[in-house]
Structure 1
Amino acid sequence: MPVPIPVFTVFSGRTYAPAYVERLQRMLARHLPEPHQLTVLCDAANQPAMASLGLPHRGLQERGLQGFCSKIQLFDPDLTGTEPFLYFDITLVVRSSLAPLLAFGAGSGAELVGVRDWNYPTLNSCLMRLKPGAATSRVWQAYLDGEDHGTPGPNQNFIHRVLRRHCPEALGFWPDGLVASYRGLRKLARRDPGAAKQARRAACVLKFHGRPRPHEVLRPWRHPTQTVLKNPDRPDLWGYLAGDITEHWLLS
């Protein structure tokens, strides 16, 4: 019987409701074809919620890391182990099979495979495959040593800087298009709906970064600043991709 793939997510702070974690679990059950085990890394305040949902969880350490900056602790082998694992942000909508990502990750020689950011020349850490080794350990040690944390604190830019500085060969990226930016697709849809539709179909994952969040897209008039007022003359974009969100996130 195959050993389940370890999968982690981070749930820290009060920005998102526990339902985001539960929906991620359901999407992975639907679209991750290999046996897997999702473990939630959460701060002390959110551990009771994870226990009430029956989700396996481990406590994050008190190391001055808050919110998504806590994902630096993914590089601590005492917390995540020594076997290759997948990491997913809770702000993702998984809309089709993750088999292409599994195949690419398994064939990559990189210790970390992540998303090439859509706006900046850096890593976007929303979906990663980590193969613990010397390079990933170097990221954790760099944090413990206080190396170039930057402002406002350790995050994906920190991970990218450490790897590029000490072991650039350890960093790889998913094929372009498999993970799509929701805001990028919406912007493209404004000027070229056909291209946006094609890009959406090619993506197995949608990343929601910043605003709007998935629940806001489903109720644009309750959250007009990031929906209606972004494209006031385009009602078709107010609830852009609400169908995908409903099918794969809300009802998965």
Structure 2
Amino acid sequence: MKKQVVCINWGTKYGAPYVNRLYEMVKANITPPFRFVCFTDNRDGFLPEIDCFDLPEMPGFMPQNTLGQWAKSRLWAPELGDLDGPFLFIDLDVVITGSLDPFFEYGAEEDVVVALNAAKPLHRLGQTSIYRMPVGALAPLQALFAADPQAVADKYRFEQHFVTKNAPNGVKFWPKDWVQHFRIQCIPRFPLNFFTPPKIPKNCRVVIFAGALNPPDAALGQYLPSRPHLPPLAHIKRALGFKRPIKSMRQFLYPAKWVAEIWDKADRASAADAQGGKDQAES
């Protein structure tokens, strides 16, 4: 199976730094040859090794006041740039901790393979932070969504739940160890979070950051920028001032140094590749 890695970028939340960083993490954890493709509304600052295409048209309209990254439904189109066959989609806000090669070897080429949603594992729901499918495999879902986007969003809330329940031939799940949810599976449970820093689970290949807690915050040891990291006792004192102090105490985490190290390494590689491209262009 050829190795095609796809990401999507729109608006101003992420942009070139995240796309370039993801490219470098992929490059460091995949056996070449591979192709890295980004569908985006702004190509400024991207590394030359990244193949860019304009965002596919949004099917129907964007649901309002509804959870879920419904803009990702653009990638369900029957045609996607010049791609053909299976591709591996990866969200921009992940940390890659192991080889991606097995993601191209698992299952059959026609399968739609998603991660198991760690928040509700018994419900057997999918998590689409990293998934693989052939181009056009979810085109029927795109048509169904486009017919009444708000009704679909209201019923399923998250686009990944819609995919899990309606993929034409069903979905398969990655082996559970491969994809881990940082907040749920890397931070020790309360009260151990006050004694042990976040760890990379055994056999994990990709750490996802669904929800508000993202990699930069994880590196700093905070759930939100508005609540910066404090030492344990200071965090507890601050938590006692909130309406739900126990919830706030559960949100304590030490800085995840491995997140910072992986992202910093990718940033340095991105800067080196950008400089190399600039030097080559000027020569």
1:247 alignment counterpart = 261
- Aligned letter for 1:117? N
How far off is 1:78 after superposition?
1.9
Q: Is the 8 A contact 1:212 1:227 kept in 2?
A: no
Q: Compare 89-98 and 184-193 and name the one that shifted more.
A: 184-193
1:16-44 deviation digits (Å, cap 9, x = unpaired):
2421111100000000224211111112x
Match of 2:227, SS state, is: helix
Partners of 1:230 and 1:12 lie apart in 2 by: 38
Q: 1:116-131 residue pairs with structure 2 within 5 A?
A: 116-120=116-120, 121=123, 122-131=125-134
Q: Is the 8 A contact 1:69 1:155 kept in 2?
A: yes
Partners of 1:230 and 1:142 lie apart in 2 by: 49
Change (3 A) 1:236 1:171: closer
Q: Is the 8 A contact 2:86 2:109 kept in 1?
A: no
2:43 alignment counterpart = 47
1:182-241 deviation digits (Å, cap 9, x = unpaired):
0013443545689x75x61321111012232212233347925275599935898231x2
Partners of 2:172 and 2:110 lie apart in 1 by: 5
1:238 alignment counterpart = 254
Q: 1:165-244 residue pairs with structure 2 within 5 A?
A: 167=168, 169-190=169-190, 197=199, 200-220=201-221, 223=225, 225=227, 227-228=229-230, 232-233=235-236, 237-239=253-255, 241-242=256-257, 244=258
- Aligned letter for 1:93? V
- Aligned letter for 1:238? Y
How far off is 1:131 after superposition?
2.1
Partners of 2:204 and 2:153 lie apart in 1 by: 32
Change (3 A) 1:228 1:177: farther
* Structure number having the greater helix percentage: 1
Partners of 2:45 and 2:157 lie apart in 1 by: 26
1:132-168 deviation digits (Å, cap 9, x = unpaired):
46x52222222233364223977222222322xxx3x
Gaps of 5+ in 2: 237-248, 267-283
- Aligned letter for 1:39? V
Q: Compare 225-234 and 17-26 and name the one that shifted more.
A: 225-234
2:161 alignment counterpart = 157
Change (3 A) 1:78 1:101: closer
- Equivalent pairs counted in the alignment come to 235
- Compute the RMSD of aligned alpha carbons: 3.3
Q: Is the 8 A contact 1:118 1:181 kept in 2?
A: yes
State the identity as a percent: 20
Partners of 1:76 and 1:154 lie apart in 2 by: 18
Change (3 A) 1:5 1:14: same
Match of 1:251, SS state, is: helix
- Aligned letter for 1:139? L
Partners of 1:145 and 1:34 lie apart in 2 by: 40
Q: Is the 8 A contact 1:111 1:132 kept in 2?
A: no
Q: Is the 8 A contact 1:9 1:87 kept in 2?
A: yes
Matched, 1:12 2:10: yes
Match of 2:73, SS state, is: helix
Work out which of the two has the higher radius of gyration on C-alpha atoms and give 1 or 2: 2
Partners of 1:155 and 1:12 lie apart in 2 by: 17
1:79 alignment counterpart = 80
Gaps of 5+ in 1: none
